[in-house]
Amino acid sequence: MNTIGIICEYNPFHNGHAHQLHILAKQSPQSLRICIMSGAFVQRGEPALFSKFDRARWAVCNGADVVIELPALFSLGSAQYFATGAIRMVKALAIDTLSFGTETTNLAAFQKAARYIDSESTQTALRTYMQEGLSYSSALRKALMQYQNSSIDDIISSPNAVLGLEYIRAALTYHNDLHYLPILRTSDHHAPSVNQNLPSGTALRRAVTEGESITSYIPATISGDIRQQIQQGHYVDYTRYEDMLHTLSRRMTPEALSAFGDFSEGIEPLWSRAALQPTWKESIDTIKSKRYTYARLQRMGAYLALGITKSSLHESQKQGPQYARLLAFNDRGRQWLQQEYNIPIIQKWAKASALLSDFGRTMHHIDTIATDIQSLCFRNPSMRKGHTDYTYTPQYIR
């Protein structure tokens, strides 16, 4: 069975995502479209705006055949670890092709640049730039500039292209026979306003939280559904999440902080002092530097909120995904679900523990906490119930 994997967040689902799925359906109508989607928390280091259950439904209503949750241990990782976890799941589920949105579709340049990353000269330069205080992504871009290749320069200057590069790099190790279908992206990945035909997720999240309409940028098939979720307050109030992080940071000693993911290099005392600032934003403004970007600090905050330790992250990188949690599917997806794969496909959350290894149960526990924390941050108090993972049945969209 031909399958196309799409690694995604859909935070929130919009016309650009529908466009990609439409293009894939047109180019390869017989192939199943399997979305591996971040769950309650996303790679920018915070809860997704809408629940994973809603986002999965919206994806299937617009051309996806199956939506699988990417565990939080991977969805919260840097570009390298996010990509590696997702690609290992692609491999475990026997997906043969990967599609991703990018500002350049020069596949040969992608593959050449991916091979360059693990060369001795690139790794040496990368370590040097990071020792000088650059973040990983900035150091990687600078390290690859040594090759003076215009097509590679196009890749490293584009945010989505860099993530695509990390997918291919991970596949060279974990899924070497993977095929690729890059889809040209024409909108600005981080544009702050909704003044484009295909606006960014950043702009749409801001619009929702500020009470602006996003109907023009959402597929008609789900616009009513999204509007209802917004009217019911079934989306995250980020001030609640920030206050939670601020509270946790104030009660943690530097010694306690050192156990959590990405806390290193003596940043713990600085983090504790920064927590004395009046707001979470002022706290991270105090810490932010070339090495500690806002994205990295947000991820560190998420590790603190979810109790993700260095040892859990290390084990996740060693073992990879332990299960594939099914969120939504259609008739075509039902056929795919009848097959067996290298990791169990979880449909009933309460029954998952019996199928999992010890570390699989750790991963399961963290995903449960992630959903519970996101729920606690919803704007509507009636939506803040815990353990909704245990009451959820995968959505069958006819």
pLDDT tens figures, 57-75: 999 999 999 999 999 999 9
The pLDDT assigned to 147 comes to 77
The predicted pLDDT at position 132 comes to: 86
Is 246 labelled a binding residue? Answer: no
Higher pLDDT, 104 or 311: 311
Q: Is the confidence at residue 158, as pLDDT, over 80?
A: no
Give yes or no for residue 371 having a pLDDT over 90: yes
Q: According to the annotation, is 10 in a ligand binding site?
A: yes
> Contact 37/69 with Cβ under 8 angstroms?
yes
pTM, two decimal places: 0.93
Least confident of 19-33, 108-122, 164-178, 188-202: 188-202
What pLDDT score was predicted for residue 200? 84
Instruction: Compute the distance between CA of residue 321 and CA of residue 343 in angstroms, rounded to an integer.
Output: 8
Per-residue model confidence (pLDDT) at position 308: 98
Residue 7 in marked binding region:
yes
Does the annotation place 71 within a ligand binding site?
Answer: no
pLDDT of residue 162 exceeding 80, the answer is no
Token representation of residue 373: 């924390």
| Calpha distance 170→188 (Å, rounded) | 25
- Name the pairing type of β-strands 41-42 and 46-47: antiparallel
Residue 164, marked binder: no
What's the confidence (pLDDT) of residue 138? 79
Phi, psi of 351 (to 5 degrees): -95, -5
Sign of CA dihedral 9, 11, 13, 16: negative
**What proportion of the chain, given as a percentage, has pLDDT over 70?**
95
Query: Which domains are seen in the chain, by residue range?
Result: 3-190+198-235+320-396 (3.40.50.620), 238-312 (no CATH)
12 is in an annotated binding site: yes
Side-chain-side CA neighbours of residue 209 (13 Å): 20
Q: Is 185 annotated as a binding residue?
A: yes
Is 2 annotated in a binding site? The answer is no
Bond prior to 12 in cis (omega within 30° of 0): yes
Give the mean pLDDT of 203-220: 94
* 18 assigned binding-site residue: yes
Average pLDDT, stretch 305-312? 97
Q: Give the mean model confidence (pLDDT) for residues 193-202.
A: 69
268 annotated to bind ligand: no
Q: Is 9 among the annotated ligand-binding positions? A: yes
| Residue 110 annotated in ligand binding | no
Q: Is 101 known as a binding-site position?
A: yes
- In sequence order, which residues have a C-beta less than 8 Å from that of residue 246 and are 6 or more positions away? 275, 279, 280, 283
Higher pLDDT, residue 103 or 94: 94
